[in-house]
Amino acid sequence: MPSPRTARAANASSSTSTGKFEFMSLLTNRVNASEAASSRGRAPDSPVHWKDSTSSQQPLPEEDCMKLNPSFLGIALRSLLAVDLWLSKKMGVCAREESSWGSARPLMKLIEITGHGIPWISISLYCFYKSDSSAGREVILNLLFALLLDLVLVGIVKGLVRRRRPSQNHMDMFATFSVDKYSFPSGHATRAAMASRFMLKHLVLATPVRILVMLWAVLVSLSRVMLGRHNVTDVVFGFFMGYMQYSLVEYFWLSPNTMPTLFKM
């Protein structure tokens, strides 16, 4: 059995060696930490701060938040635009000569000319010059006013919206102007809707002719999509816009009382 003195000596030797080992381990770790800190450009004695990954994230800008979390209205508008482009491309069967209905393209272009503004204004001016009755001049003068109003309003809306024409469109239209490079709304559709409503209201027409007038307005509007000139929404909005423009013409109706000089020519 070892003596108490021998046990104390053994314990002292054990604690000394253990303490030395722990001191060397701490010294080694300290040197390694100092080298790592210096390689990162930080002082060895500076405290190490651990950052939470969630706290380091910056708040997203408002426009990015709108893109990541779109509203129901935004989703509906984008879906409507996608359907509009898809349907317009499907209905553009006369857009090119090599299209599925490319052989009907000359007929569609003839219908397009019947809804152009220059023939309508030219014929209206000629009829106004040849008319010898006050009532006839009043109707034709207001038709001219309606056609000019249509040109101004459509040009303003096209200049504000600046929507490009469909990609399948072949720009070979008759007598185009600067704003005609834009698509929304369809000027042919507005003119067809307004002129047909005007004629049905102020001209004495037989029933078959009235049906032909309404059919002409529909064909002119439909030809815009078939030729690839416009998207479906351009034509639908244009037709509605032309229908409402007639109400403005009725409200500002020109009569011999308002403009007597024009009726005395």
Whether residue 41 is contained in a domain is answered as no
Whether residue 5 is contained in a domain is answered as no
The catalytically annotated residue of 49, 116, 170, 188 is 188
Whether residue 29 is contained in a domain is answered as no
CB atoms within 10 A of CB 70: 13
Biggest CA-to-CA distance, the chain: 148
Residue 14 pLDDT class (50, 70, 90 cuts):
very low
Whether residue 67 is contained in a domain is answered as no
Whether residue 38 is contained in a domain is answered as no
Separation between Cα atoms, residue 208 and residue 94, nearest integer Å:
29
Name the phi and psi angles at 182, rounded to 5. -95, 160
* Residues 6+ away with beta carbon under 8 Å from 188: 112, 115, 116, 220, 221, 223, 224, 229, 238
The catalytically annotated residue of 49, 116, 170, 230 is 230
pLDDT at 116: 92
Separation between Cα atoms, residue 164 and residue 161, nearest integer Å:
9
Mean pLDDT computed over 17-45: 50
Chain centroid to CA 100: how far? 28
Between 64 and 143, residue with greater pLDDT: 143
pLDDT at 153: 95
List the beta bridge partners of residue 164.
Answer: 182
Q: Is 247 left (phi over 0), alpha (psi -120 to 50) or beta?
A: alpha
Separation between Cα atoms, residue 254 and residue 137, nearest integer Å:
10
* Residue 38 exposed, middle or buried by CB count within 10 Å (0-12, 13-18, 19+): exposed
Answer positive or negative: Cα dihedral of 122, 126, 129, 133.
negative
Residue 188 is a catalytic residue: yes
Residue 230 is a catalytic residue: yes
In the block, tokens 């002119």 appear at 220
Mean pLDDT computed over 14-20: 46
Ranges 41-50, 62-71, 110-119, 166-175, most confident: 110-119
Mean pLDDT computed over 6-12: 49
Question: Alpha helix locations (H) across 162-227?
Answer: 187-202, 207-226
pLDDT at 57: 56
For the whole prediction, is pTM greater than 0.75? no
In the block, tokens 């482009």 appear at 85
Asked if 198 and 249 count as a contact pair (C-beta separation under 8 A), the reply is yes
Asked if 223 and 112 count as a contact pair (C-beta separation under 8 A), the reply is yes
Whether residue 138 is contained in a domain is answered as yes
Between 262 and 144, residue with greater pLDDT: 144
Whether residue 137 is contained in a domain is answered as yes
pLDDT at 44: 46
**Domain containing residue 181:** 72-263
Structure tokens at 47: 């405290």
pLDDT at 202: 92
pLDDT at 46: 47
pLDDT at 59 > cutoff 80: no
pLDDT at 42: 47
Residue 143 pLDDT class (50, 70, 90 cuts):
very high
pLDDT at 55: 47
User: pLDDT tens digit string along 229-264?
Assistant: 999 999 999 999 999 999 999 999 988 766 666 666
Whether residue 202 is contained in a domain is answered as yes
CATH number at residue 248: 1.20.144
List the beta bridge partners of residue 182.
Answer: 164
pLDDT at 94 > cutoff 60: yes
Between 133 and 110, residue with greater pLDDT: 110
Mean pLDDT computed over 11-38: 49
Domain count, the chain: 1
Mean pLDDT computed over 9-29: 48
